[in-house]
């Protein structure tokens, strides 16, 4: 599985290179209707039905760049971006707001679940609408864009909540806002003394890498430390353009992490995750989380069992640099927050002798350290399949 080369759908072959590289042109020329999509992609009946059924709810939109990466019906790019009739399936435990984000909102556009971190929603639009989006209840609905007064209320709350040190700026995709708006938002967050770290959560490096241009990085670097959380899911998204976007961010001091989401038949195998993560690390982006897909209504057909994520982690350890291995996280439905899971490697325990299996299933014994007076360790078996609050 090799990363993808520069590509352009034949419909746009006559467009000058500078125009193609202009993110404003890419946004203006997004494909958002069945009529526009039909001549570009040979749709399956299930996709056509999916688009018709979804009309009026969670819309679809695809940049010419992202569309150019598509291949046959099983293509991982296509399955993330083109609606499918399976989105209409309903299973009893699915939810509209699985993470109870609305309940954890002290003010409408802020989610504050953990003491030291808060998540601010600054827009509900994105270049491409991912079919597995957790926030599809809101995302894509331009009429629900945060009002100025809501942002004011959020910044007031942040200013009087000194426990918050890390502010995630999310959406939608915050990079849907112009540089000047982002600059003003980050400056406003920076003016709050107890906020130490800013994080921009964006899928633009994947769906519209042209957006990460020189003006963007030069404007926003003024607010460092700014971390960027992005969302690559498959090596088919690993193009030279995407690589350049990641490099430009790193060159300008942004620390970039990737949050992939496990998706059935798209990336739920070790070889795909390995190829993706090797490419990311080479482009100075650290795999941060591998997420279990949230139980959002309309995504049942994309979800994998939790065991698939554990099996992938088990296969990667020993195969792949620790730099390229993310944490496997499940965001607990109902607002429990994130937990991380690891494969169980403890085979048995005899007194202080702990026997573990390695990545090749060979067994090795480690003799545990003795308890000390002020040890913080608890007596008993280390919980190798431990969960800790994220």
**Residue 113 interacting entry, from ligand SF4, ligand PLP, none, C-beta within 5 to 8 Å by type:** ligand PLP
Q: For strand 117-121 and strand 110-114, is the pairing parallel, antiparallel, or unpaired?
A: antiparallel
30, 129, 130, 268: the catalytic one is 130
Q: CB of residue 363 vs ligand SF4: minimum separation in angstroms? A: 42
Q: Which is nearer to ligand PLP, 61 or 226 (CB)?
A: 226
Q: CB of residue 288 vs ligand PLP: minimum separation in angstroms? A: 7
Max Cα separation, the chain?
74
Contact between 260 and ligand SF4 per CB under 6 A: no
Residue with tokens 């994130």: 338
Residues in 116-135 at the binding interface with ligand SF4, rule: CB under 6 A: 126, 129-130, 133, 135
Token pair of 264, please? 């059935």
C-alpha distances (whole Å) from 98 to each of 109, 134, 137, 297 are 17, 8, 10, 9
Contact between 146 and ligand SF4 per CB under 6 A: no
Contact between 329 and ligand SF4 per CB under 6 A: no
Minimal CA–CA distance to 258: which of 239, 236, 240, 284?
284
Binding mask 110-129 for ligand PLP (x = CB under 6 A): -x-xx--x-x----------
Minimal CA–CA distance to 154: which of 206, 105, 109, 98?
109
One of 59, 171, 243, 298 touching ligand SF4 (CB under 6 A)? 171
DSSP string covering 135-166: TTTTTT-GGGPPPHHHHHHHHHHHHT-TT--E
Q: CB of residue 342 vs ligand PLP: minimum separation in angstroms? A: 15
Q: Which is nearer to ligand PLP, 106 or 318 (CB)?
A: 106
User: What is the C-alpha to C-alpha distance for residues 106 and 115, in angstroms, rounded to an integer?
Assistant: 13
What does the binding site for ligand SF4 look like in residue numbers (CB under 6 A)?
Answer: 126, 129-130, 133, 135, 139, 171-173, 203
Residues that bind ligand PLP (CB under 6 A): 111, 113-114, 117, 119, 168, 338, 390
């Amino acid at each position: 599985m090799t990363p993808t080369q520069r590509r352009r759908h034949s419909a746009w072959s006559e467009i000058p290179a500078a125009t193609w590289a202009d993110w404003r042109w890419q946004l203006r020329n997004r494909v958002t209707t069945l009529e526009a999509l039909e001549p570009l992609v040979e749709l399956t009946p299930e996709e056509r039905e999916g688009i018709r059924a979804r009309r009026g709810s969670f819309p679809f939109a695809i940049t010419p760049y992202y569309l150019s990466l598509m291949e046959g019906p099983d293509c991982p790019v296509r399955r993330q971006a083109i609606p499918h009739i399976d989105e209409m399936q309903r299973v009893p435990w699915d939810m509209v707001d699985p993470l109870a984000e609305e309940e954890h909102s002290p003010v409408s556009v802020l989610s504050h679940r953990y003491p030291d971190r808060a998540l601010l929603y600054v827009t509900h639009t994105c270049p491409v609408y991912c079919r597995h989006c957790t926030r599809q209840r809101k995302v894509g609905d331009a009429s629900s864009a945060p009002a100025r007064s809501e942002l004011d209320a959020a910044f007031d709350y942040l200013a009087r909540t000194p426990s918050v040190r890390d502010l995630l700026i999310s959406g939608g995709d915050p990079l849907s806002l112009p540089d000047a708006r982002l600059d003003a938002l980050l400056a406003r967050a920076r003016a709050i003394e107890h906020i130490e770290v800013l994080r921009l959560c964006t899928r633009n490096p994947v769906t519209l890498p042209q957006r990460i241009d020189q003006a963007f990085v030069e404007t926003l670097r003024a607010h460092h430390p700014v971390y960027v959380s992005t969302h690559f899911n498959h090596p088919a998204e690993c193009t030279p353009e995407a690589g350049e976007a990641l490099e430009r961010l790193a060159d300008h001091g942004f620390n970039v992490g990737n949050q992939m989401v496990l998706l059935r038949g798209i990336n739920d195998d070790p070889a795909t995750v390995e190829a993706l993560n090797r490419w990311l690390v080479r482009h100075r982006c650290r795999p941060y989380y591998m997420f279990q897909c949230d139980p959002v209504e309309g995504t049942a057909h994309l979800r994998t069992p939790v065991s698939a994520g554990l099996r992938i982690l088990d296969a990667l350890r020993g195969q792949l640099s620790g730099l390229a291995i993310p944490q496997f996280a499940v965001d607990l439905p109902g607002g429990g927050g994130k937990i991380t899971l690891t494969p169980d490697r403890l085979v048995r325990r005899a007194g202080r002798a702990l026997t573990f299996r390695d990545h090749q299933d060979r067994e090795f014994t480690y003799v545990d350290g003795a308890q000390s007076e002020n040890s913080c360790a608890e007596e008993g078996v280390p919980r190798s399949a431990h969960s800790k609050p994220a």
